Structure 1
């Protein structure tokens, strides 16, 4: 750097920020100066290697930052790899080929002996070089995992972890996704977790255990952020479930059980933040008023109004904007499947976890065992697996004084599905009945037991089947009829929570198999279903669909609707023609002279004498119109009068000849629901019959969807919340919004307004003028029994008050 006239140049080059600027502006001119600083860095690092724990000078930290920044921008092709190798060698030392290919992480790395400032500076320099594209992602990933496993600095570990998450997120941005890099990273993480299973020995936590924990957290976080949501990611977490390390196993199981709820919470928080940002409007109250700021304020107000409409009236907002990306069907398709649905071998995974749970050598804590039971039962219920030893294993934990027994019962409900043999279910029902539904148990235990039995039978209706086949009764291990009637008797229990649970069981049996109940307990709906022969399917029996459910009902509905519209159009045309005739008759007409009229009449008479008149048969035309109407009525199908075979044929025909839209499926769902309600409730059937006679049966069906909240809500198949089967001793306290909604609903949906027919006699009496009824017998005898108001009744006022007490307390409705 010497030479004549270079005094100022030496001062400039010794200031590293100025030299960095000069190297960026003129790389070739200052290359020698940069190489001199690199040689100086090598000597400083060599001195540091002799005493790595000493506190570094500020000059060394500045020199490391300078070398990383300049090499990654101005001298990327020549010096970047050399600087990276220097920093990596300082952190982890020289590695052999076996150490580079091995997943095992040594706990004695040079990075543990370095000062924390040197570690942080080297890591920041490597992150800078990776962000500028100098280093490949897989190399940095392996290095940072080795450092995270052994470094004691918590802040440095968090820095490394957040960089890995952000780096993989940047790799998978829209338009920049590289599947090759993703596969290599996933392969490394999978080896780190699965290799840990083989290498783990003893109870002491090694550096490999720490790296496997961080790898599991990294994969779960990337799935939560919707960066990796494919089957390979789920397979990596599934391998962590079988880890011998309890912490890793629990983290992986909690991922499968709760990841969808966390993602829903993230979406709700993001929407709330977006809503708060839209509401925070900067009016520039203390700034100079300019046209640009006025446009900015108007834009903010417009966005706020738009967000408010989207928040409160989402459907109307969608129709107004006509944006296909905001369509509800598209949004439903964008939703992720639950992670537990993407498992490749759920049966093998469930058997492996259940084997670990049943092993005598397992020294897991009780909370860990509960988590394992929850995971296994969720797998069995979600994928409808057959794991018969599980049900006898659960019975051991169904004691009345067992800790967290409500959660055990909820997990038992999770494990039930239609493919479970009824004998296994009967064993669980017997255990619940003996340990919970007895008089020696508390009221809360009895309510929980009845609710659990109802939930299990809801998932396995075949457990209630007692039908005989060829004169032979199905082999059952318990008397289902006696069991059902005993539980139904708890509907009259003195405790409110037990009575609520008993009535819930009673209503359930009425819907599924009312033949199990006594005639007095079946009710109106249950009696109708019993007459219709309602029974649950036997074990192994399936109801095979021959077409789209409700296709014949949709065909009938559209035919009736088209006929009604055609009839309304004809009536409108007839009314229009009559109105036009009336209009013509009401106009002014020109009157001719009398002489002209006489001449015209004479000429017409002469013509009429020569020609015969044309006669029209009006009766024939009326008969033809009646025949056409009868043909149209016969063309409209009536599904209620068809035989089951004819309905099946019509369903197959309509399903094979037509492509249904989303609105058609919604209509079919509602039509099937209306038919089911009419079949189960005689009053509903009578109401439908009266509406059909008046021609109002088509008004009950609407094209609008009523289940938007249910469709948008995240549903996890097989999941059961322990709160669902707990005793409901008292009504939950409603919020102010819920109370107000109930009040408004009561105003608009009052029972008297929905009743068919006119007003009742009592309502007419209340509305009648008093002068018209004051001399009636009822008015004269009111308050005194059958005697008048002026007559004294025996017994005095005390008896009179007793007679009118109930009438006075009656609440009168407003007219």
Structure 2
């Protein structure tokens, strides 16, 4: 076979020619030039009918993208030709051909033939295509490309600034306000990219956060809910649902199985205790603590960490597993939080008071509730003033209201020290009338008392003394949850302002301080504050710096982490409203190891266990007559004078003795 026939075969067999060019680019330069000329001619013909399938044209594009790096000078126009082709005809291109062109550009980008600033705007524009597989491919590539561009300590500020500006344009564009248009698809995927890059600790600046904040005002519910859920829980990874279906389109990583820790705790309460279930519970608890540490910014939330090792019991450890990462609160990065909250509340208020007449869109109650959660957290975090927020919530303060515990949590979260007490007092009175009454169930009463305590923690002036003393009386209720809630309210005012309590309820320390005049527990007026003395947690810092004593340092680390966790919690959840008793949070039975450790801890510092008889014999004595009388049969002591006199008491004497007994029991009790 001659050289001419071999050349003709190579031109028709692109995979073989591709293999030969990669092995020896210099020898097959002429064949590459012929294929490049064939591509340009085919491109001119294809642009006459861009909606054709053109399978051979797609194979030619794939071949040239594979070998373009071998001839950089001769293939300089090839990437621009592909970009122009997509920009002009992407709505009408065949789906397979369009995906092949995108894959070719991704390959050229990964090999450095084309810069990311040239292809990224095009890729965001292609989010408008109604092709789920294409959007998933583009989403994965954009995330990985931006991640590589900002690898390590290096940050590509030019690329980040350009992309964030382009995302802002996509989210706020006019066509992105129509949920049936293609602009809505592009806005949703652009928002998903920005959220995922924040969760990978790549875009954590204020500009990226405020780009996401603009999506909270989108009329499209899915776009708005994605942005709002991000501000409620920035580090939570949820399924990236597309508008055309419920299939997740994440970055290609394996989905993590959701673990319901409350359900596992409940199962451990009712099921038989086994070593296997104990191991499962310990693994879930470790994973839960790890997630909480991520939310507080104590652990990185990037993909380099293998969170499934904790759940599956794996022993793999990553290099950066324990390295702390600075994670600023996203609520602190929002520009103009007052205006942001007012716009969100205007949407909630209009949805609650308007109807669907005239084709207007009204948000569902679940959507409004999520918006109220974000509004309350912003009010509490920035100590904002939104007076219409509190009367609006009063209409939902009924025990039969759907998701009433979340509404009560929203009310408590939206309260702070600068909230006027006269605005809160009608709500406190409504909660006391509707929730804290004898005809209500214990769960309802517990929710009402805990809500009052949560509000009073932030604004003690919101509860008047008469109502406070009435609520404190429920500390003697037969239900344990109600009793604990009332006692916590009593303990709060013993700390902040014992003068509001009756004298018998103030407690010993507060009473002594008030009598001697040495107490600093006097409640200040509205808007007043005491000058800070020292820094909270500074004693834990001193323990942390004592490196010469490892035990003390380790203990200091735990206490410091616990202090940071307590300080980081700007909000109230459902568990806080229901209380520990009714929310099953602490109703779990102690395991055998926990009971054993408690028993051994109680035996420390005491004598060795033994019977009372052995102790008496050791002391060389026997029972006294009084002690022996307690164990005698009644017939043997029935004739005694003390017994006979006790039976002949009058009703008046019996009543006096009973009163003395009751007073004595009260003194020994709470």
Q: TM-score, normalised by structure 2?
A: 0.74
Structure 1 position 77 matched with structure 2 position 56 = no
Q: What is aligned with 2:529?
A: 542
The partner residue of 1:338 within 329, 338, 356 is 329
Q: Distance in 1 between matches of 2:49 and 2:514?
A: 90
Structure 1 position 509 matched with structure 2 position 509 = no
Q: What is aligned with 1:63?
A: 60
Q: What is aligned with 2:171?
A: 193
Q: Distance in 2 between matches of 1:160 and 1:220?
A: 15
The alignment's C-alpha RMSD in Å is: 3.9
Distance 1:537 1:221, change over 3 A: same
User: Which SS does the other structure have where 2:631 is aligned?
Assistant: coil
Distance 1:240 1:769, change over 3 A: same
Contact 1:216 1:240 in 2 (8 A): yes
Structure 1 position 136 matched with structure 2 position 115 = yes
Distance 1:137 1:543, change over 3 A: same
Report Cα offsets for 1:181-207 as digits up to 9, x if no partner: 11111111112222x2x4556x55211
Distance 1:712 1:128, change over 3 A: farther
Mapping 1:292-371, distance limit 5 Å: 334-359=325-350, 360-361=353-354, 363-371=362-370
User: Which SS does the other structure have where 1:768 is aligned?
Assistant: helix
Q: What is aligned with 1:635?
A: none
The partner residue of 2:143 within 165, 190, 196 is 165
Contact 2:150 2:156 in 1 (8 A): yes
Report Cα offsets for 1:255-290 as digits up to 9, x if no partner: 00011355738859935445699957xxxxxxxxxx
Q: What is aligned with 1:421?
A: 420
1:167, distance to aligned residue in structure 2 (A): 0.8
Distance 1:664 1:499, change over 3 A: closer
Contact 1:666 1:705 in 2 (8 A): no
Mapping 1:358-397, distance limit 5 Å: 358-359=349-350, 360-361=353-354, 363-397=362-396
Report Cα offsets for 1:410-445 as digits up to 9, x if no partner: 001011111112212212212212222234433332
Q: TM-score, normalised by structure 1?
A: 0.62
Q: What is aligned with 1:637?
A: none
The aligned length equals: 564
Distance 1:701 1:271, change over 3 A: closer
Structure 1 position 19 matched with structure 2 position 17 = yes
1:85, distance to aligned residue in structure 2 (A): 3.2
Q: What is aligned with 2:269?
A: none
1:155, distance to aligned residue in structure 2 (A): 1.4
The partner residue of 2:82 within 87, 93, 102 is 87
Q: What is aligned with 2:508?
A: 524
Contact 2:408 2:451 in 1 (8 A): yes
Distance 1:173 1:47, change over 3 A: same
1:375, distance to aligned residue in structure 2 (A): 0.9
Q: What is aligned with 1:741?
A: 594
1:158, distance to aligned residue in structure 2 (A): 0.6
Contact 1:56 1:117 in 2 (8 A): no
Contact 2:176 2:186 in 1 (8 A): no
Q: What is aligned with 1:631?
A: none
Q: Distance in 2 between matches of 1:709 and 1:224?
A: 22
Task: Identify unmatched segments of 5+ residues in structure 2.
Answer: 238-290, 355-360, 547-551, 644-670
Contact 1:382 1:717 in 2 (8 A): no
Q: What is aligned with 1:246?
A: 221
Query: Where does structure 1 differ by over 6 angstroms across 4 or more consecutive aligned residues?
Result: 275-278, 664-667, 700-703, 762-765
Report Cα offsets for 1:559-580 as digits up to 9, x if no partner: xxxxxxxxxxxxxxxxxxxxxx
Distance 1:441 1:778, change over 3 A: closer
Q: Distance in 1 between matches of 2:67 and 2:216?
A: 45
Contact 2:398 2:434 in 1 (8 A): yes
Q: Distance in 1 between matches of 2:488 and 2:625?
A: 48
Q: Distance in 2 between matches of 1:372 and 1:208?
A: 24
Q: What is aligned with 1:448?
A: 447
Q: What is aligned with 2:571?
A: 719
Report Cα offsets for 1:39-70 as digits up to 9, x if no partner: 2223444554555555444x443321111122
Structure 1 position 260 matched with structure 2 position 113 = no
Contact 2:179 2:220 in 1 (8 A): no
Q: What is aligned with 1:460?
A: 459
Contact 2:337 2:378 in 1 (8 A): yes
Instruction: Please tell me whether Structure 1 or Structure 2 has the larger radius of gyration of its CA atoms.
Output: 1
Distance 1:520 1:370, change over 3 A: same
Distance 1:10 1:180, change over 3 A: same
Structure 1 stretch displaced more, 510-519 or 708-717: 708-717
1:162, distance to aligned residue in structure 2 (A): 0.6
